[in-house]
């Protein structure tokens, strides 16, 4: 049987990870935009990768179930890479919660049913989840363990009216959900972790650095210990480690890769952001 890698989200970070782990395997590239998936598949096929595409709205359980079934049909599901999602500037509160919080939770559950022994997955989350203050324990437990179809009915989520807050809660939920799912994936001999990138230069971030919020972004970068933005390849290197045999003792973890931005947000030069975020 072929070994299968499932990539959800055909952006720069997801492609950087896929390039590191999908050689010699069947790579399923799934994206909300079928055109994006096909363009990524053409580029990777020209570099020697074995690719097929699928249209998948991460906010749709039906789409996710079809994707998981396709992956299982293609062969032994070895890796999941989820790099899909919407940002606070791209979507309203309801859509952010539907895609980033609910959809990611469903994806973890459905792929967890077909992941192979020795398999592994990474969820691309965000440093934003680390900017949310500590939650009450009952909220942590609810985000981690509530059945997927009941998640969006949690009372404290229904009170969110700000897109940034919706995004922060979604990313905190990603980390908590990964912890819970690590116990289920472990029964199949598989690992699952999340990665929380900071400012990574992707086409979207490059647009921000040229747009009206340019000065704010540059000030944030200057206030970080690293004094620079990151690259998709740096996230790819970390993901490769987690997905490889070298990362087998890591599961249920969330790893920040943000140049120290979160450290500076809480305790350094970026504390001013607390009043605006």
Domain CATH number, residue 87: 3.40.50.720
Inter-residue contact 196 to 257 (CB < 8 Å): yes
On whether residue 275 sits in a domain, the answer given is no
On whether residue 269 sits in a domain, the answer given is no
On whether residue 251 sits in a domain, the answer given is yes
Our answer to whether residue 167 is catalytic in this structure is: yes
Q: Which of 138, 80, 69 is nearest to 108 (CA)?
A: 80
Q: Which of 32, 165, 171, 265 is catalytic?
A: 171
Structural domain for 39, as ranges: 3-202+231-261
- Which stretches of the chain score pLDDT less than 50? none
> Which residues make beta-bridge pairs with 82?
8, 123
Report the alpha-carbon distance of residue 226 to residue 246 in Å, rounded.
Answer: 26
Our answer to whether residue 32 is catalytic in this structure is: no
pLDDT score of 121: 98
Q: Which of 32, 102, 167, 265 is catalytic?
A: 167
pLDDT score of 276: 65
pTM metric for this prediction: 0.96
């Amino acid at each position: 049987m072929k070994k299968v890698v499932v990539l959800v989200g055909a952006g720069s970070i997801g492609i950087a990870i896929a390039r590191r782990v999908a050689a010699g395997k069947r790579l399923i590239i799934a994206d909300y935009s079928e055109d994006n998936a096909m363009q990524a598949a053409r580029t990777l096929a020209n570099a020697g990768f074995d690719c097929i595409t699928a249209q998948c709205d991460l906010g749709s359980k039906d789409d996710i179930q079809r994707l998981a079934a396709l992956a299982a049909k293609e062969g032994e599901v070895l890796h999941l890479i989820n790099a899909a999602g919407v940002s606070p500037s791209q979507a309203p509160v309801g859509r952010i919660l539907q895609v980033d919080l609910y959809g990611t939770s469903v994806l973890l559950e459905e792929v967890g049913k077909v992941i192979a022994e020795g398999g592994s997955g990474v969820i691309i989350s965000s440093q934003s989840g680390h900017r949310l203050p500590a939650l009450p324990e009952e909220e942590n437990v609810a985000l981690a363990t509530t059945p997927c179809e009941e998640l969006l009915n949690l009372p404290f989520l229904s009170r969110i009216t700000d897109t940034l807050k919706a995004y922060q809660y979604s990313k905190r939920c990603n980390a908590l959900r990964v912890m819970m799912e690590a116990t289920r994936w472990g029964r199949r001999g598989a690992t699952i972790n999340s990665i929380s990138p900071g400012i990574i230069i992707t086409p979207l971030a490059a647009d921000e650095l040229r747009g009206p919020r340019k000065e704010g972004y540059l000030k944030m970068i200057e206030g970080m210990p690293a004094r620079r933005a990151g690259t998709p390849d740096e996230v790819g290197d970390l993901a490769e480690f987690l997905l490889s045999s070298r990362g087998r003792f890591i599961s249920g973890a969330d790893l920040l890769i943000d140049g120290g931005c979160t450290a500076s947000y809480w305790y350094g030069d970026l504390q001013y952001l607390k009043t605006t975020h």
